[in-house]
Structures are given as C-alpha cells and as structure tokens.
Amino acid sequence: MRVLGIETSCDETGIAVYDGDKGLLSHVLYSQIPLHADYGGVVPELASRDHVKKTLPLIKQALAQAGLNAADIDGVAYTAGPGLAGALLVGATIGRSLAYAWQKPALAVHHMEGHLLAPMLEDNPPPFPFLALLVSGGHTQLVGVEGIGRYELLGESIDDAAGEAFDKTAKLMGLDYPGGPLLAKLALTGDSKKYKFPRPMTDRPGLDFSFSGLKTSAANVIAKEGSSEQVQADIAASFQQAVVDTLVIKCERALEQTGYQRLVIAGGVSANISLRQQLEVLLQRRGGAVYYPRKEFCTDNGAMIAFAGYQRLRAGQQQDLTIGVTPRWPMQELVPV
C-alpha cells in the first residue's frame, strides 16, 4: 500500500509518499518562516493562504520524486488536527478531494500521533510498549503507549508548552523568529549554572508541567542583567538547562510509574541536543533505551502523516465524504488499530 501524506497544521507544508514494503519513497517540505518572520510569530490567515499556494505543487513534486502518478497511490492521509483551523482545512480539503477524484480511501490523521510514530520511520524503531515525551511549540505531554491508538495521557503542560517557552524567552532576548533554535544555539557558549531558574512543579507529585513561571523568571533576569553577548549566552544556557532538567525529572517519574524501559521523544523540541543527551544518560542509567526521529522529522512533516495514515488505512479505517477538521483533538479519542 502506498499512501500520500499531507501536513498543513501550522506554518509548514509537508508532503510525502510512504510505501508499506519499501518505506518512505519521497518527502518534500516548505517552511513559511520567512513569511512570518516580520511579525515575530505565525499569522494564521497568512499561513492558510500560503498552504493554498504550495500544497498542490508540492504534491506533484513528491509524486515525481517517487516516480509515481495518481494511479499508483492507494490512499490519502491528511492532518485534521490539532492545529490552526484554516491551515488544517486547506490540507483536509485538498486531501479529501484528491481521494474522491482518484477513488481512493482517505484518512484524517492526528498531528500528535504523527509525531509519536515518527521514530518508527528509522532503521531501529521502538517496540511497544513505551513512554512518549511529545514536546513541541504547542504541546508538552507524557503518554503511555501500548500500541497504535492505545494511549494514556499521563501528564501535560497546564499553560505554555516547552517549545512555546523557548520561543517567548528568545523573543524577550531580541532573537529573531523562530527563536527557540537560536536560543539553543546561543546556549552552547553560555554557563548553564550562572542563573538559577526554577524547575517548575518538580517539588510536588505528579507528571504535569508548567513553563509560564519559568518564562517570567527569565524575563526578570533579562530586564535586570542587560543584553551583552555573554550575558545572553548565560541566560540562554541557564534557561535551557531548567527546561531540560524539568523534562528529565518528569520522564524519570513516568518511567518509574509505568515500569517502561523505552522512551520516545518527538516533536520540534526533541531536536534539542542537550535534551537528547540527558535523556540518553537517564535511560542508560536505568538500563533502557531512548528513541527519536532524525532531525528533519522532528518538526512538522509529511512523512509522519503518511506513515501514521498508512497504519490506519491498512487496518481498514477511512473517512466518509465529509471534510472536517478538529483544531483541539485529544489523542485519547483515537481508536486502536
């Protein structure tokens, strides 16, 4: 079975073709970063309009890259949520319409399930069961995973997501958009022990997160200490360490609670080098293993949607002719495969 995957949940247009026998045949990605940079963040209406312009040309490019045409596609998968409503509707409308025109089944894919399954595109995929840390600009969640569609939400952020805290703190420091990766790069030259930031909600039981207070603490230091190059590097390193420590502490608690020996990290922040290194140390100490996708599949992409769609389409799941999206969509609502 060959599945065309379409990702348009926010500010990246991702298209891919996945083959159940041969694996990933093609994937193309267009980023809207230059479009939104002048505004310091994503402008939903501009994002939607740009998806309208880019999605069909990228589909043609992905098919050509794979050496296929419409007749070779056995199903179409598109992101239906969570995400920006207008952006989601572009991908859903195009994906459902193509499936109807090609007389192929269509499937609405959950964006975070795509991220969760992205490490399975690698040569050493994680076997079930495992703990998943989904950490991005919009989500920070700990999920117990027994199988595809068998998810238990163990903890999540009650305010800002970790990636959102990175971006907002970077903006306070005057870094360009998107600031999170720039802050992480700046942290490489800083002293992570220079400033003492809180590790939110680690002094109490539970697996939920909170990053808004940490961001406020960083804002106070930024306002007080100035903006010299070394001060900024030290703030970036200290802030990053506080986020990473918080995530690692919560992951260890969740591993102890569930008894799992495998950890998957996925989402944009999973590309953070410091986070990867410290989670690897944690799992090695516990005799377990950590899995993550290659960096190009950490951020939003069509490959993860094509793969997630393939898993469900081959199990016989598909959508009716209704075109709909779910901007807020709890992953626990998904049915098992």
36 is in an annotated binding site: no
Do residues 267 and 117 lie in contact, with contact meaning Cβ atoms separated by under 8 Å? no
134 is in an annotated binding site: yes
272 is in an annotated binding site: yes
248 is in an annotated binding site: no
147 is in an annotated binding site: no
27 is in an annotated binding site: no
Nearest CA to 129 among 153, 147, 148, 150?
Answer: 147
90 is in an annotated binding site: no
180 is in an annotated binding site: yes
226 is in an annotated binding site: no
List, as residue ranges, the binding site for substrate: 134-138, 167, 180, 272
List, as residue ranges, the binding site for Fe cation: 111, 115, 300
List, as residue ranges, the binding site: 111, 115, 134-138, 167, 180, 272, 300
